[in-house]
Chains A and B, each alone.
Chain A
């Protein structure tokens, strides 16, 4: 059974008559012990779906789902109690996620104190061990430092160590490499991959970067305008994308174009969160859109370990 099983998640804000659709219909299924990518443009609902998993949505949010389960538990009821116990989060900007006026040791200790019954000196040892596990060379010195005395990569490792300190088995990483430069970002991804193997963790990697998905995700879900449009194993998704949006995304990667040519782009804009979407959300921008695409919800298609929603008949071979 999957660790996370989400079907038909919808999150709305604002009035009943004129709601803001932050998330319209997201399906997400994450296997234990894997890194699952959640890809999409800004505003497609990636981060807010992650917030829903943590039970951190504002009170004004109206959440509904056909299924919203974590390890068999209904997250609509228990998200708050799992937060920081079984589900932890690594945020985009590690510098902002650490208190500027408290030493790292203090902040590590706060987390450990909330989650372990260890006495003080053992917590210190545990903190050192966790920092070492994230590849920090001199944990003792890091424990005595303030956040501004550490580099961005070191800060992100500290945040990862904090996430480990909670004892969580599911970690939501919200664009963990965005604030880091490329080489350090690659190191952090490698670290996450190693930790997933060593500690039987499961990671949801929220990102807009296809390279991040290609590099470290076992499987991925593509979101567009609050809809899941395609999901599957990374290699299949990248090698044989089925949904026109995924195809367009991949075509827009710099690598996909010969040197000197203009980069491919997707014409148009994502639909407004106020818009009422009758048919396929991507239809107005889709190169192969048909009349039916604007009128009826696209069917869910499945070819074994890869599923997508589109009116186009899959062409085999």
Chain B
């Protein structure tokens, strides 16, 4: 543990703690939220738009719900979406990159040109189009963002494979008649995991932001489920007079996205610059 923190540096360590803290809040939301029912969406009109106080630390929203509980429940949604986006992007991008890099030739050309098509659109625009076409909802929002995300993983995986494919031990395995599947899974995949892991950590923050942006635009998670992006949008109507409504989820998104970014950088620094993909 001490070694890990030393490697991450002070900024990376703080980021790691912030992320673990938010993750724990999300996991134990029913136990730690002051008003679990309000966190899930139950209105409490009597106390609507109360400023921060001893009872409501971050005030209440336009339906009188405690902002602390809403933000904590929102963490569940946001972290899950972020995780799913990165996971889904890996699931799509990694096999495509592996196959393109390993087999080369027309397979490479075909797969990478498809990848280029997705890269040709601005990511958020494509995500908005997808989300609008599929309708709002958490699953749809996740898919919409992942569709714009996987090409980066495909390219990164392909680049790693191209380096590995030239290794004598890969060629030796081929000469010994080991099947393509075994070579890809056993010899190539494990060596690509590290740069991809760094990329995934770096991407968690932007994935979270994009998902929040979709919710903000009304294309992501719908009320009454708590979601930070959607809460910022709702709070906008009361800003700046009831500033706490938009600020509570907004600052949370900011802090968490920053934490992932700093942590990813700290991990990458340790990796000797591998996994550095311009975005």
A interface residues, Cβ below 8 angstroms from B: 54, 56, 59, 83-85, 88-89, 91, 93, 96-102, 106-107, 110-111, 113-115, 159, 162-163, 165-166
Contact = CB atoms under 8 A, between A and B. Distances in A.
Contacts of B272: none
Interface string B155-174: 00000000000011101111
A163 B179 CA distance: 15
B167 to A, nearest CB: 7
B2 interface: no
Contact of A166 (B168, B177, B179): B177
Contact of A101 (B105, B174, B179, B190): B190
Interface in B168-196: 168-169, 171-179, 182, 186-187, 190-191
Contacts, number: 66
Give the interface size class of chain B. 10 to 19
B171 A56 contact: yes
The listed residue with most B CB atoms (<10 A of its CB), out of A56, A91, A97, is A97
B177 A89 contact: no
B186 to A, nearest CB: 7
Contacts of B179: 114
30 contacts: A56-B171, A83-B174, A83-B177, A84-B175, A84-B177, A88-B176, A89-B176, A91-B168, A93-B168, A96-B167, A96-B172, A97-B168, A97-B169, A98-B169, A101-B190, A102-B187, A106-B186, A107-B173, A110-B182, A110-B186, A111-B173, A111-B176, A111-B178, A113-B182, A114-B177, A114-B178, A162-B172, A162-B176, A163-B176, A166-B177
Contact of B177 (A59, A85, A99, A101): A85
Contacts of A107: 173
Given A111-B178, A113-B182, A114-B182, A89 B172 contact: yes
A73 to B, nearest CB: 17
A111 B179 CA distance: 9
A48 to B, nearest CB: 14
Contacts of A91: 168, 171-172, 175
A115 B177 CA distance: 8
Given A101-B190, A102-B187, A110 B178 contact: yes
Contacts of B176: 84, 88-89, 111, 114, 162-163, 165-166
Interface in B228-276: none
Given A99-B169, A159-B172, A111 B177 contact: yes
Interface string B96-115: 00000000010000000000
Nearest to B167: A96
A110 B191 CA distance: 18
Interface in B55-106: 105
Contact of B172 (A97, A101, A106): A97
Contacts of A93: 168
Q: Give the 5 A-B CB pairs with smallest separation, nearest first.
A: A84-B177, A96-B168, A97-B172, A89-B175, A99-B169
B265 to A, nearest CB: 27
Given A59-B105, A88-B176, A91-B171, 15 more contacts: A54-B175, A83-B174, A84-B175, A84-B177, A88-B175, A89-B176, A91-B172, A91-B175, A97-B168, A97-B172, A99-B187, A106-B186, A110-B182, A111-B177, A114-B177
Contacts of B177: 83-85, 88, 111, 114-115, 166
Contact of B186 (A98, A102, A162, A163): A102
A206 to B, nearest CB: 14
Contacts of B167: 96
A115 B175 CA distance: 13
Interface in B22-64: none
A165 B173 CA distance: 12
Nearest to A163: B176
Nearest to B176: A111
Nearest to B168: A96
Contacts of A56: 171, 174-175
A84 B178 contact: yes
A163 B171 CA distance: 13
A79 to B, nearest CB: 12
Contacts of B186: 102, 106, 110
The listed residue with most A CB atoms (<10 A of its CB), out of B169, B176, B190, is B176
A102 B171 CA distance: 15
A165 B187 CA distance: 19
Contacts of A159: 172
